[in-house]
Amino acid sequence: MASMTQQMTIMTQQMTIMTQQMTSMTQQIQIVQDNLANSLETLFYKSPVFEGRRYYLAKQLASFSSTSAQATCHLYGGYLAEIDKENEFHFVRAFLNNYKQFICVSISGSDEDIEGHWVNQRNNTLLTYLLWNADEPDGGRDQNCLSICRDYNWLMGSHFCFVVYDFENQKKNKKSYLCEIPEL
Ligand SMILES: [Ca+2]
Ligand SMILES: [Ca+2]
């Protein structure tokens, strides 16, 4: 039977190995966090902080798909921007006005499941703050995703959930989407 001293030595060695493993894991987590932060900065324009979160506007899209926009926001710990009160709307509008290249920006909201019944995609909660532009929502079953558009002074409209850009028609290239990501 090992003596008490030998047991203590083995335990100390095991503790040292565990400490090294934890240090290594912490370093690896830090690398993943840094990579995510760098790619977020590459893909998006970043807003100032508003009530503990920031808004991120996709810089450059060759096509738009609502599902991949949702997944991308999710990857960075957020969701498609859920604009649900007046001061948030004004903050987002001021932010978007810095980027003249975009005509329409997709935010959270879909009536894909039930026409005219607008819900947040991430949790199916009903949208309570809807600032429709005149004549919107239109398009019926063809337009099931919520956008805010410059020509509407950033009021809301129904829009396509999937757009492949037509490079002959530059106007169609000017769509983006907006993520809302809590600050850690
Ligand atoms: Ca619709
Ligand atoms: Ca529409």
Per-residue pLDDT of 61-88, as tens digits, reads 888 999 999 999 999 999 999 999 999 9
**What are the residues whose beta carbon lies below 5 Å from ligand 1 (ion)?**
111, 144
Q: What is the pLDDT of residues 105-124, one digit of tens each?
A: 999 999 999 999 999 999 99
Does position 90 have pLDDT exceeding 70, yes or no?
yes
Å from CA of 112 to ligand 2 middle: 13
Q: Residue 177 in contact with residue 106, Cβ under 8 Å? A: yes
Does position 171 have pLDDT exceeding 60, yes or no?
no
Determine the Cα–Cα distance for residues 31 and 37; give it in Å rounded to an integer. Answer: 10
User: β-pairing, 44-46 with 53-58?
Assistant: antiparallel
Q: Pick from 28, 84, 24: which is nearest to 53 by CA?
A: 84
Ligand nearest to the CA of 159: 2
Q: How many CB atoms lie within 10 A of CB 139?
A: 12
pLDDT at 62: 85
Q: Residue 119 in contact with residue 110, Cβ under 8 Å? A: yes
Q: Flag whether the pTM goes above 0.95.
A: no
Helices (H) and strands (E) in the chain, counts: 3, 9
Does position 159 have pLDDT exceeding 70, yes or no?
yes
More confident residue, 173 or 183: 183
pLDDT range class, residue 172, cuts 50, 70, 90: low
Does position 168 have pLDDT exceeding 90, yes or no?
no
pLDDT range class, residue 165, cuts 50, 70, 90: confident
Å from CA of 148 to ligand 2 middle: 10
Ligand nearest to the CA of 112: 1
Å from CA of 133 to ligand 2 middle: 9
